[in-house]
Chains A and B, each alone.
Chain A
């Protein structure tokens, strides 16, 4: 049963994601990602020139050359921004979408790496999104590397992580030092809480951290109106959650 809190959280996270999509010319969202899909459409409402594609939503799928086209589009360098989720994320930006424990006898098995093995390397601004901000998800070292956070010199690597957005905070990724830096803490959460819930070391400026911006009234009108309507085809339950029906 959807609650008011679920609805408020979804609106907030969609806005936090849209904030880190700002300024990209092209943005794609993978399958089964309702909050990122709403965020992408919100970013497009804010910046109408942004080209947005959403896999799994026929109305937002401009590709005509089959399921492989998105990867070709990204490999060519045409895709500026993509969102990836992961089972584990570590402090060096490595992603694990596969398993926990020994690969051959895992304690937890997830679906698999999807397109991360290419997209994380070729898309300049990858936003890693994991709502569960806990030491279980944000670990010191991932158990399986679906895609590395950085690459050594000499490896073709125009892409990689740019931001990590969780249910508690937003981090920027510093490629030079291969580590995350805290950008803002969500309203209602504290730096101490974020530190306790993060299994890896991250950079943090002195003083009280910035607070992640709330969605504006206009954002909420877009999300609960035209964006919810647009998502009805691909995400009917989520669309109803946004409208509060």
Chain B
């Protein structure tokens, strides 16, 4: 049974050098755990944006926590480019594995099925493919005519980390419409979740709710973190804090501005 633990104990399970998969900025990002990770000084992460990332990746990169980033895109959406990401790519401070959204999803689906790869359409002839030696092209063995198709290797993250509206005492986690979180939990070796609320009822007992519940089978630990996605939005709970995000986008344009902003954020 997963443990309900304090936030610092939850992030203590994430070790230097691990692969860490996180949802997009609108998908339930655990900013509370991100802050705790930065405070602790985690290093050399292999960060995977499913299928993109934003503020979370920018903070972790700016704070020197990331060696390798795999994502289809990193941006602050309407607040513009992710400045620390952009700077780190241009200076070569991090290694980038550019992806495309369906490839990230396909890699996770392969992992949850326990198979080594998933074929996907598209990509052929692109520089995306050329820069990904781990993505391989085979000739579709089931077709009568030549039919090249790309194989995406299974993505099996050491850890998946996200924020959700609620969990129950047994560690079942309700994710609502964000079903990619379910796939991520199925694919990962360990799933760590922060939640707005922990309820006394059994989330699996309610047939209306159960289909959107990540069963505790896949969950390693849960920590209570009210407003844990702030300043990002949590679907169905609260909107993004646009003023805060705007201030970040402006401050983080320079390394010094980023450090000052981060000091305030870490408190």
Contact = CB atoms under 8 A, between A and B. Distances in A.
A147 to B, nearest CB: 6
A116 interface: yes
A47 B253 CA distance: 44
A145 B102 contact: no
Contacts of B245: none
Interface residues of B, number: 54
Contacts of B98: 98, 112-113
B128 A113 contact: yes
Contacts of B3: none
Contact of B145 (A64, A99, A121, A154): A154
Interface in A187-225: none
A92 B125 CA distance: 13
Interface string A134-150: 00000000001111100
Contacts of A145: 125-128
B121 A151 contact: no
B78 A32 contact: yes
B29 interface: no
B157 to A, nearest CB: 16
Contacts of B92: 104-105
Contact of B122 (A32, A107, A109, A147): A147
A117 interface: yes
A111 B81 contact: yes
B145 A66 contact: no
A66 B182 contact: yes
A103 B131 contact: yes
- Interchain residue pairs A-B with the least CB separation, the first 10: A117-B100, A66-B179, A112-B73, A68-B105, A71-B102, A111-B75, A121-B122, A118-B122, A66-B180, A111-B73
B133 interface: no
B22 interface: no
Contacts of B106: 68
B216 interface: no
Given A67-B27, A103-B131, A109-B86, A120 B101 contact: no
18 contacts: A32-B77, A66-B177, A66-B183, A67-B23, A68-B51, A103-B127, A104-B92, A110-B81, A111-B52, A111-B75, A113-B98, A115-B101, A117-B99, A117-B102, A118-B100, A121-B123, A147-B128, A154-B146
Nearest to A115: B101
A65 interface: yes
Interface in B162-217: 177-183
A66 B178 contact: yes
Contacts of A103: 127, 131
B184 to A, nearest CB: 9
Interface residues of A, number: 45
B132 to A, nearest CB: 10
Given A67-B51, A71-B101, A111-B73, A117 B126 contact: yes
A114 B178 contact: no
A111 B74 contact: yes
Interface in A88-106: 97-99, 103-106
Interface of B: 23-24, 26-27, 50-52, 71-75, 77-78, 81-82, 85-86, 89-90, 92, 98-103, 105-106, 109, 120-129, 131, 145-149, 177-183, 235
B148 A154 contact: yes
A68 B109 contact: yes
A114 B72 contact: yes
A144 B102 contact: no
Given A64-B179, A66-B178, A109-B90, A115 B125 contact: no
Contacts of B24: 67
A232 interface: no
A114 B126 contact: no
A72 B77 CA distance: 23
A236 B14 CA distance: 38
A122 B121 contact: yes
A105 B90 contact: yes
Nearest to B149: A156
A118 B81 CA distance: 23
